[in-house]
Structure 1
Amino acid sequence: MSLIQLAAAAAAQVHEPIHWVDLGLKNYLFRIGSFELRWYSLAYLAGILLGYWHLSRMIKAPGAPLAQRHADDLFFYCTLGIILGGRLGYATFYTGGDSDIPSMWLHPTELVQLWHGGMSFHGGLIGVLLALLWVSWRNGLNFVRVADYISVCVPFGMMFGRLANFVNGELWGRVVTDPNLPWAMIFPDAGPLPRHPSQLYEAGLEGLMMIIIMLPLFWKTRARFRPGLLVGVFTTGIACARFIVEFFREPDAQLAEFARNTGLSMGQWLTIPLIALGLVMIARALMKPELASGGAAMAPSAA
C-alpha cells in the first residue's frame, strides 16, 4: 500500500475523542480533612491579585487618572462587586421565570451558598461597574478614565476563571458535529457523546486574546489619552468573544428551551447591548481630541 493510500485510510478513521477523566485533573490543589483548596477559588484570587499588580504598574506611567490609594480601594470594592454581582446576576438571569430552577430571590439563604455554584458574567460586570462608580465618585475621579485602566486588567481574571472551569470539568460545550475534531472531549456527567471544550475557547478568546489586545494598546500606543477608548475596545472585544463562544457552549439546562425558542442563548441576548455600547464608546473616543497631557487629566485628589 502506498503512502498516499495509508494517509487516506488514516484520515477515514474516526478520531477517538479525548476523555477528560484521563487527563488526571482534580478540582482542588490539596485537601486537609473536609477542607479543599479549590482551583476555582485560586483562579479568582490569582486574577484579582495579578490585576491589582498590573494596575499598580500602570498608574506609575504618565497620564494616570488615579493614585495608589485609589488602586487599593478598587482592589477591595471590585472584589466585592465580582462576588456579589456575579451571584445576584445568576439569581436574576438564570433562576426563576421560564427556567427549571426556583428563583433564588424567593430563597434568600441560597444566595450566600456560593459553594453550590452559580455565577453570572454579566452580573459580575455590573458589580465591578458599581464599584468603579463608588470609588470614582467618592474620590472625585474621572469614571471613564478609571474604567479605561481597569479594563486592561480584567482579562487576567477571565482567563484564569475559564481555565478553572475546565479543570473542574464543568460548563462544557455542545456536542460536536464533526466526529473527527481532534480536541473533542467526553466530560463526566455530560453523557457519552464528545463535546467542545468551550471553557478553553473562552479562556483563549475572553482571556488570552484580550490580554494580547489590551496590554499593547495601553503600553505601546497613546490610547489611554483618549477617554473611553480602552474600555470601549474591551467591552466590544469581550462581548464579541462571548457571543461567538456561546455557539459552542452548552446552554444552561434551565434555559435550553429559551435558547431553542429565541434562536440565541441568554448569554448572547445579554451580550448584544454590550457590543453596541462598546462600539459607541470607541466612536466617541476617536471623535474627541486626545488629552494634551496626563497631568492635565489627573483629578486633583489623585495628585
Structure 2
Amino acid sequence: MPLYVLPFPAFDPIAVQLGPLAIRWYALAYIAGILIGWWWVRRLIADDRPWGGRPRPNAPEIDDFVLWATLGIVLGGRIGYVLFYNPAHYLANPSEIVMVWKGGMAFHGGFLGSVAAMVLFARGRSFSFLTLFDLFAAAAPIGLFFGRLANFVNGELWGRTSDVAWAMVFPYAGPVARHPSQLYEAALEGVLLFAVLAVIVARTDVLRRPGLLAGLFATGYGLARIAAEFFREPDAQLGFLAGGVTMGQVLSLPMVAAGLALAIWAARRVPRSDPP
C-alpha cells in the first residue's frame, strides 16, 4: 500500500430526495447518456454528405427508437447480469430480478438487448438494421462514459489493489488502496472510443458502408474492456476464471471477433455513391 493514497470522494449516491422518492446519480447517468446520444444521432442523420444517398432514419423515427433502445438497454442489461454474473443468487431469489435499483447491470446484456431492439424496429422500414446499428455505435460511447462515472460515484466495480500514486481506498472494498478502474473504463470505453469513431465518421466514407461503424465499435469496445479488466477487481461471486481471466474478458472476446468479421465484411462492399 502506498504511503499516501487519494481519499475516495464522499459522494451521496442519491442526487435528489423528494420525500420518499430518491433520484440516484446512476439513473441520471442513464438518462444523460440516452439524451445526449439521441442528440448526437440526430446531428448525424441531418447531414446528407457522409451518407452518399444511403437510406437512413429520419428525425421522427429516431425519436421513436429512443424508447425501444431504452427498453433494450435496461432489460438486456438486467437479464445479462442475472445470467452472466449471478445466476445462482437470482435462481434462489427470483423476486430480486426486478429490483434494478439495487444495482446489477451488464453491458454485454444491454448490448444484445439493443441489437434485438434495432432488429425489431428496422423491420419493414426504408433503412436496414445495419444502418441503425451504425448510428447506435456512434452514440453508445456517450452512455458508456456516463455509466462508468456513475459506477465511480457509487463506489462500485472498483479496481485491483495497487500502489500507484492515484490509488484510492473505496468505502466498501476494505482498507487497501485500489485502482479507480471505473475512471479507466470511462476514459477508454467512453472518451477515447467516441473520439476515434467521431474522427472516422468525419474523415472517411464509413457511413456509406452499412455495418462498418458498428463492427469498429464492437471491436473497439471489446479491446478496451479486455484491457480495463486487467485493472478491475472481478465480481466477488465469480472471481477469476480458468487461466486468470475474468468474465468481462470472456464475454468481450466473441464481441471482438464478431466486430472484426462485420467490419471486414462491410469494408469489402462497394460504398454507396452520391446519386447523379
Into which bin does the TM-score normalised by the smaller protein fall?
A: over 0.9
State the SS of the aligned residue for 2:23.
strand
The two structures have a TM-score, normalised by structure 2, of 0.93
Query: Structure 2 unaligned runs (5+)?
Result: none
Matched residue, 1:93: 84
Aligned partners of 2:56 and 2:126 also within 8 Å: no
Shift of 1:140: 4.5
Query: Structure 1 unaligned runs (5+)?
Result: 1-13, 297-303
Which structure has the greater CA radius of gyration? 1
State the SS of the aligned residue for 2:175.
coil
The two structures have a TM-score, normalised by structure 1, of 0.85
Matched residue, 1:199: 182
> C-alpha separation between the residues in 2 aligned to 1:115 and 1:227?
37
Q: Which stretch shifts more, 28-37 or 234-243?
A: 28-37
Matched residue, 2:246: 265
State the SS of the aligned residue for 2:80.
helix
Matched residue, 2:69: 78
> C-alpha separation between the residues in 2 aligned to 1:261 and 1:280?
26
Task: Pick one of 151, 157, 160 that aligns with 1:174.
Answer: 160
Q: Which amino acid aligns with 2:59?
A: Q
Shift of 1:49: 0.4
Q: Deviation per CA, 1:219-248, whole angstroms, max 9, x where unpaired?
A: 332211111211111011001000011111
Q: Which stretch shifts more, 223-232 or 279-288?
A: 279-288
Shift of 1:263: 2.1
> C-alpha separation between the residues in 2 aligned to 1:114 and 1:138?
33
> C-alpha separation between the residues in 2 aligned to 1:73 and 1:54?
15
Q: Deviation per CA, 1:106-137, whole angstroms, max 9, x where unpaired?
A: 54322211111111111100110001001111
Task: Pick one of 45, 60, 74 that aligns with 1:59.
Answer: 45
> C-alpha separation between the residues in 1 aligned to 2:243 and 2:58?
46
Aligned-residue identity in percent = 42
Matched residue, 2:269: 288
Task: Pick one of 198, 221, 225 that aligns with 1:215.
Answer: 198
Aligned partners of 1:73 and 1:135 also within 8 Å: no
> C-alpha separation between the residues in 2 aligned to 1:260 and 1:71?
40
Matched residue, 1:251: 234
> C-alpha separation between the residues in 1 aligned to 2:94 and 2:63?
31
Q: Which amino acid aligns with 2:245?
A: L
Q: Which amino acid aligns with 1:94?
A: Y
Aligned partners of 2:215 and 2:263 also within 8 Å: yes
Shift of 1:30: 2.3
Shift of 1:283: 1.4
Q: Which stretch shifts more, 32-41 or 274-283?
A: 32-41
Aligned partners of 1:86 and 1:122 also within 8 Å: yes
User: Is 1:232 matched up with 2:215?
Assistant: yes
Which residues in structure 2 correspond to 1:148-167 (within 5 Å)? 148-167=134-153
> C-alpha separation between the residues in 1 aligned to 2:204 and 2:262?
18
Task: Pick one of 118, 131, 136 that aligns with 1:132.
Answer: 118
User: Is 1:17 matched up with 2:5?
Assistant: yes
Q: Which stretch shifts more, 143-152 or 122-131?
A: 143-152
> C-alpha separation between the residues in 1 aligned to 2:124 and 2:77?
23
> C-alpha separation between the residues in 1 aligned to 2:109 and 2:66?
18
Aligned partners of 1:246 and 1:265 also within 8 Å: yes
Q: Deviation per CA, 1:265-291, whole angstroms, max 9, x where unpaired?
A: 111111101111111122112222111
> C-alpha separation between the residues in 1 aligned to 2:217 and 2:59?
23
Matched residue, 2:31: 45
> C-alpha separation between the residues in 2 aligned to 1:124 and 1:150?
12
Shift of 1:32: 2.9
- RMSD of the TM alignment (CA)? 1.8
Aligned partners of 2:38 and 2:66 also within 8 Å: yes
Alignment coverage as a number of residue pairs:
271
> C-alpha separation between the residues in 1 aligned to 2:219 and 2:156?
26
Aligned partners of 2:168 and 2:179 also within 8 Å: yes
Aligned partners of 1:15 and 1:182 also within 8 Å: no
Q: Deviation per CA, 1:157-215, whole angstroms, max 9, x where unpaired?
A: 00000001111111101111xx2x11101000211110000000000000001111111
